[in-house]
Chains A and B, each alone.
Chain A
Amino acid sequence: MSITLEDAVALITLEADMLDHGDFHDWLKLYTPDGRYVVPIDPNAEDFEKVLNYAYDDAEMREKRVVRLLSGRSISAAPPARTVRLLSRYRMMDSSETSCTLRCAQMLQELRQGRVHDYAANLNYRLEMTNDGLKIALKVVRLLISTEALTAVSYIL
Chain B
Amino acid sequence: MLNLPDPKRLLGEDRADGSIYSDPDLYDMEMDRIFMHNWIWVAHKSDLPEPGDFITTFVGSHPVIVSRDRKGAVHVMLNRCRHRAATVCELKHGKTASFVCPYHGWAYGLDGALRGVPHQDGYTGQLDKSKLPLVALRVEEYNGLIFATFDKEIMSLDAWLGRAKPWIDLFMKQGAGWPVKTMGEHKFTFPGNWKIQLENTTDAYHFPIVHKSFLDSVDQETQNTFDFVGGAGFVEDLGHGHSVMVMIPELVDLDEGLDAPIPERFTELATELAKDYPDEQVRKIVRAVGGSGFNLNLFPNLACSMAFFRVLRPLSVMETEIRHIAIGMDGGPDIANEVRLRLHEHFQGPMGFGTPDDAEAWDRVQRGSLAGKDISILLNRGIGHEAQREDGNLFSDVSAETGMRAAYKQWLVAMTEEVGE
A residues touching B (Cβ–Cβ < 8 Å)?
39, 41-42, 49-56, 61, 64-65, 67-68, 71, 73-77, 113, 115, 147-154
Contact = CB atoms under 8 A, between A and B. Distances in A.
A115 B351 CA distance: 18
A42 B187 CA distance: 12
B349 interface: yes
B186 interface: yes
A154 to B, nearest CB: 5
A115 B184 CA distance: 29
A73 B326 contact: no
Contact of A52 (B184, B210, B213): B184
Interface string B208-249: 001011101100000000000000000000000000000000
B338 A153 contact: no
Interface string B197-214: 000000000000010111
Interface SS of chain A: helix, strand, loop or mixed? mixed
Given A68-B216, A75-B361, A149 B353 contact: no
18 contacts: A39-B351, A41-B186, A52-B186, A52-B341, A53-B345, A64-B217, A68-B216, A71-B213, A74-B357, A75-B210, A76-B357, A115-B191, A147-B92, A150-B188, A150-B350, A152-B190, A154-B356, A154-B357
B355 A152 contact: yes
A88 B355 CA distance: 31
Given A52-B326, A68-B213, A149 B187 contact: yes
Nearest to B338: A49
A107 B235 CA distance: 46
Interface in B348-366: 349-351, 353, 355-357, 359-361, 363
Contact of B345 (A55, A68, A147): A55
Contacts of A151: 188-190, 350, 359
Which among A42, A49, A74, A152 has the greatest number of chain B C-beta atoms within 10 A? Answer: A152
A58 to B, nearest CB: 9
B185 interface: yes
B283 interface: no
B405 interface: no
A71 B216 contact: yes
B216 A51 contact: no
A50 B216 contact: no
Contacts of B187: 148-150
Contacts of A53: 341, 345
Contact of A54 (B183, B212, B214, B349): B349
A61 B346 CA distance: 8
A34 to B, nearest CB: 16
Nearest to B342: A56
B32 interface: no
Those 10 A-B pairs whose CB atoms lie nearest each other, nearest first: A52-B184, A152-B356, A74-B213, A76-B356, A76-B360, A150-B350, A73-B212, A152-B359, A54-B351, A73-B213
A11 B185 CA distance: 33
A54 to B, nearest CB: 4
Contact of B185 (A39, A49, A52, A75): A52
Contacts of A77: 213, 356
B188 A74 contact: no
B173 interface: no
A68 B351 contact: no
A148 B323 CA distance: 11
A74 B350 contact: no
B344 interface: yes
Given A152-B360, A154-B356, 16 more contacts: A42-B184, A50-B338, A51-B341, A53-B345, A55-B345, A56-B341, A56-B345, A68-B216, A71-B216, A73-B216, A74-B353, A113-B363, A150-B189, A151-B359, A153-B350, A154-B357
